Chain A
Amino acid sequence: MARHVDHRFQINLRGVIDLLSHHLYSSPGVYVRELLQNATDAIRARQLLEPGHTGTVRVELIEKQDGGPPTLLFSDDGVGLTEEEIHRFLATIGESSKREALAERRNDFIGQFGIGLLSCFMVCDELLVVTRSVKGDGRTMEWRGRHDGTYSVRPSEHPLEHPGTQVFLVARQDTAELFTAERVRQLALHYGGLLPFPILLTVAGSTARINTEGAPWRRKYESSSERRAALLAYGREVFGSDFIDCIPLKSSSGDVEGVAFVLPFSPHYNAKQKHRVYLKNMLLSESAENLLPDWAFFVKCVVNANDLRPTASRESFYENDTLAKARESLGQALRRYLTELAKDDPRALQRLIALHGLSVKALALDDDDFYRLVIGWLPFETSLGMMTLVDYRKQSPTVRYVSSLDDFRQVARVAAAQGLCVVNAAYTYDTDLIEKLPRVFPDAQVEPFSAGELPQSFEELTLDEREAVFPLIKVAELALQPFRCDVAVKKFLPKEVPTLYSSDAEGSFRRDAERAREESDDLYGSMMDSMLGGAPGSDRPLLTFNFLNPVVRKLAGVTDRALMKVSVEMLYVQALLLGHRPLSAKEMALLNQGLLGLIAAQLDGGEDSGRGGMH
Chain B
Amino acid sequence: MTAQDWREQVEELLERAGRLRHGEAKVMALEEAVRLADTHGDLERAFEVRDELIDAATFGGFPDKALVAFAWCRAQAKKDPERFESDMLLWKQKWVVGRLDDFPHISRKQIQEALDDIEQTYARADAGKRAILKLRYQTARDMGEEAEAQRYWDQWIAAPRDHLTDCRACDLDDEIDHHIDLGEYAKALEKARPILEGRSSCAEIPHLTYGSVLYPLLKLERLEEARDCHLHGYPMISRNRDFLATVGEHIEFLALTDNVARGLTLFEKHLGWALDHASWRDRFTFHAAASFLLSRVMAEDRDTVSLRLPKAFPLYQAQGTYAARELHGWVETQAREIAARFDTRNGTARFQKLLERTRELSRDVYPFVIDAAPGPK
Point out residues on A near B: beta carbons under 8 Å: 268-270, 318-321, 324-325, 404-406, 426-428, 435, 439, 448, 508-509, 512-513, 515-517, 519-521, 523-528, 530-531, 533-536, 577, 580-583
Contacts and interface: CB of A to CB of B under 8 A. Distances in A.
Contacts of B35: 406, 508, 512, 580-582
A435 B36 CA distance: 30
B298 interface: no
5 contacts: A318-B377, A406-B35, A519-B75, A527-B67, A581-B39
A448 B311 contact: yes
Given A405-B29, A530-B106, A516 B68 contact: yes
A523 B25 contact: no
B110 A527 contact: yes
Contacts of B106: 527, 530-531, 534
A527 B75 CA distance: 13
B149 interface: no
Interface string B94-117: 000000100111110010011001
A513 B75 CA distance: 13
B20 A528 contact: no
B32 A528 contact: no
B276 to A, nearest CB: 7
Given A520-B72, A523-B113, A580-B39, A509 B65 contact: yes
Nearest to A268: B19
Given A512-B68, A531-B68, A270 B75 contact: no
Given A405-B28, A536-B276, A581-B39, A530 B105 contact: yes
Contacts of A268: 19
Contacts of B38: 515, 582
Interface of B: 19-21, 25, 28-29, 31-32, 34-36, 38-39, 64-65, 67-69, 71-72, 74-76, 78-79, 100, 103-107, 110, 113-114, 117, 276, 308, 310-311, 373-377
Interface of B is mostly: helix
Contact of A535 (B29, B64, B373): B64
A520 B110 CA distance: 14
A269 B34 CA distance: 22
A524 to B, nearest CB: 4
- In the A-B complex, list the 8 residue pairs whose CB atoms are closest, starting with the nearest: A534-B105, A582-B38, A519-B75, A516-B72, A524-B71, A269-B19, A516-B71, A320-B376
Interface centre among B28, B29, B100, B117, by most chain A C-beta atoms within 10 angstroms, is B28
A321 B377 CA distance: 10
A523 B116 CA distance: 11
A533 B20 CA distance: 31
Contacts of A534: 103-106
Nearest to A531: B64
B72 A319 contact: no
Contacts of A524: 71, 74-75
B113 A582 contact: no
Nearest to B32: A405
Nearest to B311: A448
Contacts of B36: 580
A321 B375 CA distance: 6
B56 to A, nearest CB: 13
Contacts of A517: 71
A405 B32 CA distance: 8
B373 A325 contact: yes
A582 B72 CA distance: 14
A519 B76 contact: yes
Contacts of B28: 404-406, 426
Given A269-B19, A519-B76, A530 B110 contact: yes
Given A531-B64, A580-B35, A580-B36, A516 B69 contact: yes
Contacts of B68: 509, 512-513, 516, 528, 531
Interface centre among A324, A435, A533, A534, by most chain B C-beta atoms within 10 angstroms, is A534
A270 B26 CA distance: 12
A406 B33 CA distance: 11
Nearest to B26: A428
A401 B38 CA distance: 27
B81 to A, nearest CB: 14
A577 B114 contact: no
A178 B111 CA distance: 62
Contacts of A405: 28-29, 32
Nearest to A583: B39
B332 to A, nearest CB: 21
B139 to A, nearest CB: 15
A224 B25 CA distance: 43
A177 B21 CA distance: 43
B230 to A, nearest CB: 15
Given A508-B31, A512-B34, 17 more contacts: A269-B20, A405-B32, A406-B32, A439-B308, A512-B65, A513-B68, A519-B71, A520-B72, A520-B75, A521-B78, A523-B117, A524-B71, A531-B103, A531-B106, A533-B105, A580-B39, A582-B39
Contacts of B79: 519
A512 B31 contact: yes
Contacts of A523: 110, 113-114, 117
Given A268-B19, A448-B311, A406 B377 contact: no
Contacts of A439: 308
B373 A527 contact: no
A482 to B, nearest CB: 20
B376 A520 contact: no
Nearest to A512: B68
A508 B76 CA distance: 21
B32 A519 contact: no
Contact of A577 (B39, B107, B374): B39
Contacts of A404: 28
A580 B35 CA distance: 7
A527 B39 contact: no
A583 B35 CA distance: 10
A399 to B, nearest CB: 13
A57 to B, nearest CB: 33
A534 B308 CA distance: 29
A331 to B, nearest CB: 14
B282 to A, nearest CB: 15
Contacts of B34: 512
A512 to B, nearest CB: 5
Contacts of A525: 71
Nearest to B62: A509
Contacts of A583: 39
B75 A530 contact: no
Contacts of B117: 523
Interface centre among A268, A319, A580, by most chain B C-beta atoms within 10 angstroms, is A580
Contacts of A270: 19-21
A517 B21 CA distance: 29
A519 B72 contact: yes
B94 to A, nearest CB: 15
A265 to B, nearest CB: 13
B190 to A, nearest CB: 18
Nearest to B114: A523
A269 B239 CA distance: 14
A321 B371 CA distance: 11
A577 B39 CA distance: 7
A324 B372 CA distance: 10
A506 B375 CA distance: 43
Contacts of B377: 318-319
Nearest to B376: A320
Contacts of A526: 110
A515 B46 CA distance: 12
A531 B276 CA distance: 14
A10 B340 CA distance: 67
Contacts of A426: 25, 28
A443 B72 CA distance: 48
A508 B38 CA distance: 13
Contacts of B311: 435, 448
Nearest to B107: A530
Given A324-B374, A534-B103, A515 B65 contact: no
B72 A427 contact: no
